[in-house]
Chains A and B, each alone.
Chain A
Amino acid sequence: MGLFDENSPMEYDAIVIGTGITGGWAAKELTEKGLKTLVLDRGRNVQHVGDYKTANLDKWELPNRGSFDEEVLAKDYPKQRRTEYTVRPEHAHFFVKDSEHPYEESEDTRFDWIRGYQVGGRSLVWGRQSYRWSPMDFEANAKDGVGIDWPIRYKDLESWYGYVESYVGISGRNEGLKQLPDGNFLDPMDFTCVEEDLKNSISKNFNGRAMTIGRTAHITSNQEKFNGRGSCQFRNRCMRGCPYGGYFSSQASTLPAAEATGNMTLRPNSIAYEIMYDENKQRATGVRVIDAETKKTYDFKSKIVFCNASAVPTTSILMQSKSNRFPNGMGNDSEQLGHNIMDHHFQVGASADVEGFEDKYYKGRRPNGFYIPRFRNLPWDSGTKKNYLRGFGYQGGGFRSKWWRGVAEMGHGAEFKDELFKPGPWNIGMNGFGEVLPDYDNYMEHTDKTDEWGLPIVNFHTKLRENELEMRKDMQEAAVEMLEAAGYKNVRGWDNSYGIGLGIHEMGMARMGRDPKTSVLNKWNQIHSVPNVYVTDGACMTSSACQNPSLTYMALTARAADHAVKQLKKGNL
């Protein structure tokens, strides 16, 4: 890649802070439109393929055969381990250590801040589920009087959804649903036999309620259109990095595109900590960076700045960008910066055993599940109204158990052992993903403490409120109801522990809006009062809907980059 070196310039057309899912898109779009762009990431460089060291390792080849080391978890990952899966030895190196990157939580509150500090960010390890928002999602705040109105509507983003879908490569099925618009999809993945059974049961017993296969950023057809990326091999080892480029990541897709233009200079190990501001011009003039390794600081100048550091760091950078004009942080005239933290609340649903499909199985490891789109509080169907606002979708799967079922039994001996070689009973489960409402009292702030680089440590104050708690009851009951209606056995509902952030969809701390008095960004993702600074990561979100957010972030980023380049050419920035 066009890596920064001592001969690289200190001045650029644009600076992009961050190389995750939105930073990669900003880099691609800005460089393809001709802007000389400096792309910063606070973490180490990760080369596509070459740095996916664990991609092909089996259990017995991993350190400690892939088992956790309790002492290491307790020392380095006390908070990151809350997900349980991110700290696994096969991909823990793509997540931070709390011991190196501490944060705080206010008393009696919890925020699960799961981070990946490296080039590519969390695009290397994301869940890859990619859903459009629908018209009702952009209208909901205005309709319900919650938070503030979105300054855009679905039609403003529709063509950009199509644009990013075609480039990302998303496998899925068009269903013609109002609450989950169709898109430009590659071939859908199959259901398992049991999932097909559930889909038919739900459609029959719940008035045509939909269940579809997950829409996921994997190449399943038309592979030749994806610039050298390979098709999904159904290994389901995605979080280790995919040597085939089968799923979308910055490494596999957007950064190589930016690199190919010759306009990108990539600087890893570069912690952006302040956006510089010229009071006379009322514009940002560049970005202050501390080198993560040498701890030397640098001032890079640019005409525009794209903030794509992910929601919390972007907000933190703006908070640190203080001046006479912005004593409380850049763009914070509204005092909303750092507030309205949202996520998707989940870890609530139901599971069951399924009989009658013992002669069926599957081949491959599908990196995807089924999806049941929202069916509550649909504005066009009064019968779906509930005692809370908004709604949720379910993600789930139906598979046969393997040998590990033996751990739960008290068996032993020859017969027991030989039985475990055979495919076990079918289980099916679904996990709800619910909308979190924006609430001013869910916020982040800087403490007086500093990290290894002298930068302020963040404290969080977040918790679920009444609406989410009411919704969770329904999320469990409705899941139980669907599994029981299908005639499955041993249906068990569950509500496991969840803290805001655990969904790793944190968003909302520099929201878009129509009014500078109540929002940080305008309808083009520009800071109202500093129009040459764009924020297009999760920080920009005005509400959370219940769909996984990355596709929307990408569409907003492409749209904002297009706007920025046009405005720059007109001399407006």
Chain B
Amino acid sequence: MKRREALRTISIGAGIAVSGVTFSALVSSCQNEPDWLPDFLSLEESQVVDLLLESMLPKTETPGASELGLVRIIDNAVNKLYKAKDQTDFKGGLNEILKRFKSENDLSETDTLKKEHIDKMTAKYFNLPEIERKRLGDLIYTDREEVSDNDMPEYLFAKAMNNLRDLGIGSYFEHETIQTEFLNYDPIPTRWDGCIPVSNVGNTWSI
């Protein structure tokens, strides 16, 4: 309980410290006490990540990213598995994402970040004109040392968006709920049939 309170206190300031943007909307969107606190991300960042993931993988007839708690899996993965410099870049990328929310939507510090703002950004990013997509693709595979100061914000932004999407898709489709309840879960097939009608199976095999 102490840790939670401490983090809650810190989080109000941390949003500022980490993102570099005084963006109280994020903090105010979380008035209820959270039932989970991130290890690596700040509370604000975790909220943005959660919203972004839900925008990329929204609830339909199948669960969305939020209800599966993918942000928790990703917080853990980045915390435990990323190299230190990749962690720093990931944070830097989230900072760029926050900045863009603000500038692209002309939001002030007292405005509330809404789902439509997030959807607008993901829609824009994933539907870039071919030439722009290629440019960004080339940029994020550039050696980090060779990225110019000018390009760095975009580099961090695009890399974080891609990482979030890749981590999101991976942790979504490898989630126990999706694997066992929505895909075809067959841990012990007992037999191999090489060529059968797809209608006998339906959704793809989990494993």
Which residues of A are found within 8 Å of B58, using beta-carbon distances?
413-414, 417
18 additional A-B pairs beyond A58-B187, A190-B194, A366-B192, beta carbons within 8 Å, are A56-B187, A65-B73, A65-B171, A190-B195, A193-B194, A196-B195, A234-B190, A234-B192, A358-B198, A359-B197, A360-B196, A361-B200, A366-B194, A404-B169, A407-B166, A407-B170, A417-B56, A420-B169
CB of A363 within 8 Å of the partner chain:
yes
Question: What is the bound-complex CA distance between A422 and B81, given in angstroms?
Answer: 30
CB of A400 within 8 Å of the partner chain:
yes
Nearest A residue to B76 via CB reads: A64
Nearest B residue to A57 via CB reads: B187
CB of B175 within 8 Å of the partner chain:
yes
Contact assessment for B204 and A402 in the assembled complex, using a CB-CB cutoff below 8 Å: yes
Which residues of B are found within 8 Å of A315, using beta-carbon distances?
none
Contact assessment for A412 and B165 in the assembled complex, using a CB-CB cutoff below 8 Å: yes
- Residue ranges of A at the interface with B (Cβ–Cβ < 8 Å): 56, 58-60, 64-71, 189-193, 195-196, 233-235, 358-366, 400, 402-404, 406-407, 410-414, 417-418, 420-424
Interface centre among B122, B126, B171, B205 (most CB of A within 10 A): B205
Shortest Cβ gap from A87 to chain B (Å) = 13
Contact assessment for A235 and B187 in the assembled complex, using a CB-CB cutoff below 8 Å: yes
Q: Which of B164-207 contact A (CB under 8 A)?
A: 165-166, 169-176, 179, 182-183, 186-201, 203-205, 207
A-B contact pairs, 7 of them (CB 8 A): A58-B207, A64-B81, A70-B82, A193-B195, A412-B123, A421-B182, A423-B201
- Taken residue by residue from 101 to 138, chain B's Cβ proximity to chain A (1 for < 8 Å, 0 otherwise) reads as 00000000000000000000011001010000100000
Question: What is the bound-complex CA distance between A360 and B174, given in angstroms?
Answer: 24
Contact assessment for A235 and B194 in the assembled complex, using a CB-CB cutoff below 8 Å: no
Contact assessment for B186 and A60 in the assembled complex, using a CB-CB cutoff below 8 Å: no
A359-B198, A421-B203 known; A365-B189 Cβ under 8 A: yes
Contact assessment for A362 and B126 in the assembled complex, using a CB-CB cutoff below 8 Å: no
Shortest Cβ gap from B118 to chain A (Å) = 11
A359-B198, A414-B60, A417-B62 known; A364-B193 Cβ under 8 A: yes
CB of B80 within 8 Å of the partner chain:
yes
Contact assessment for A361 and B169 in the assembled complex, using a CB-CB cutoff below 8 Å: no
Which residues of A are found within 8 Å of B170, using beta-carbon distances?
404, 407
Which residues of A are found within 8 Å of B197, using beta-carbon distances?
359-361
Shortest Cβ gap from A201 to chain B (Å) = 16
Q: Which of B18-75 contact A (CB under 8 A)?
A: 55-58, 60-62, 73
Which residues of B are found within 8 Å of A195, using beta-carbon distances?
194
Contact assessment for B190 and A233 in the assembled complex, using a CB-CB cutoff below 8 Å: yes
Which residues of B are found within 8 Å of A363, using beta-carbon distances?
186, 189, 191-193, 196, 200-201
Which residues of A are found within 8 Å of B2, using beta-carbon distances?
none
Which residues of A are found within 8 Å of B194, using beta-carbon distances?
189-193, 195-196, 362, 366
A58-B176, A60-B179, A414-B60 known; A402-B205 Cβ under 8 A: yes
Question: What is the bound-complex CA distance between A67 and B166, given in angstroms?
Answer: 13
Nearest A residue to B165 via CB reads: A412
Question: What is the bound-complex CA distance between A402 and B191, given in angstroms?
Answer: 20
Question: What is the bound-complex CA distance between A399 and B51, given in angstroms?
Answer: 35
Which residues of A are found within 8 Å of B176, using beta-carbon distances?
58, 60
Which residues of B are found within 8 Å of A189, using beta-carbon distances?
192, 194
Contact assessment for A359 and B60 in the assembled complex, using a CB-CB cutoff below 8 Å: no
- Residue ranges of B at the interface with A (Cβ–Cβ < 8 Å): 55-58, 60-62, 73, 76-77, 80-83, 122-123, 126, 128, 133, 165-166, 169-176, 179, 182-183, 186-201, 203-205, 207
Shortest Cβ gap from B146 to chain A (Å) = 22
9 shortest interchain CB distances as A-B pairs: A190-B194, A364-B189, A364-B192, A193-B195, A403-B173, A361-B198, A412-B56, A412-B126, A234-B189
Which residues of A are found within 8 Å of B175, using beta-carbon distances?
60
Contact assessment for B207 and A365 in the assembled complex, using a CB-CB cutoff below 8 Å: yes
Question: What is the bound-complex CA distance between A413 and B62, given in angstroms?
Answer: 12
Question: What is the bound-complex CA distance between A195 and B169, given in angstroms?
Answer: 29
Question: What is the bound-complex CA distance between A145 and B60, given in angstroms?
Answer: 68
Question: What is the bound-complex CA distance between A411 and B168, given in angstroms?
Answer: 12
Shortest Cβ gap from A62 to chain B (Å) = 10
Question: What is the bound-complex CA distance between A412 and B81, given in angstroms?
Answer: 25
Contact assessment for B186 and A59 in the assembled complex, using a CB-CB cutoff below 8 Å: no
Which residues of A are found within 8 Å of B174, using beta-carbon distances?
59-60, 65-66
Nearest A residue to B177 via CB reads: A60
Question: What is the bound-complex CA distance between A362 and B196, given in angstroms?
Answer: 5
Shortest Cβ gap from B77 to chain A (Å) = 6
Nearest A residue to B189 via CB reads: A364
Question: What is the bound-complex CA distance between A34 and B166, given in angstroms?
Answer: 59
Question: What is the bound-complex CA distance between A364 and B73, given in angstroms?
Answer: 29
Contact assessment for B191 and A364 in the assembled complex, using a CB-CB cutoff below 8 Å: yes
Shortest Cβ gap from A350 to chain B (Å) = 22
Contact assessment for A233 and B62 in the assembled complex, using a CB-CB cutoff below 8 Å: no
Contact assessment for A421 and B126 in the assembled complex, using a CB-CB cutoff below 8 Å: no
Nearest A residue to B122 via CB reads: A412
Which residues of A are found within 8 Å of B55, using beta-carbon distances?
412-413
Shortest Cβ gap from A379 to chain B (Å) = 34
Interface centre among A67, A189, A193, A358 (most CB of B within 10 A): A67
Question: What is the bound-complex CA distance between A363 and B183, given in angstroms?
Answer: 13
A65-B174, A413-B122 known; A71-B192 Cβ under 8 A: no
Nearest B residue to A67 via CB reads: B81
Which residues of B are found within 8 Å of A233, using beta-carbon distances?
188-190
Contact assessment for A411 and B126 in the assembled complex, using a CB-CB cutoff below 8 Å: yes
Contact assessment for A192 and B77 in the assembled complex, using a CB-CB cutoff below 8 Å: no
Shortest Cβ gap from A343 to chain B (Å) = 30
Which residues of B are found within 8 Å of A67, using beta-carbon distances?
77, 81
Shortest Cβ gap from A43 to chain B (Å) = 28
Contact assessment for B207 and A407 in the assembled complex, using a CB-CB cutoff below 8 Å: no
Contact assessment for B196 and A361 in the assembled complex, using a CB-CB cutoff below 8 Å: yes
Contact assessment for A420 and B198 in the assembled complex, using a CB-CB cutoff below 8 Å: no
Nearest A residue to B197 via CB reads: A359
Question: What is the bound-complex CA distance between A233 and B187, given in angstroms?
Answer: 9
Which residues of B are found within 8 Å of A362, using beta-carbon distances?
192-196
Question: What is the bound-complex CA distance between A411 and B172, given in angstroms?
Answer: 15
Question: What is the bound-complex CA distance between A70 and B80, given in angstroms?
Answer: 9
A64-B80, A70-B81, A196-B195 known; A406-B169 Cβ under 8 A: yes
Contact assessment for A423 and B165 in the assembled complex, using a CB-CB cutoff below 8 Å: no
Contact assessment for A403 and B187 in the assembled complex, using a CB-CB cutoff below 8 Å: no
Shortest Cβ gap from A428 to chain B (Å) = 13
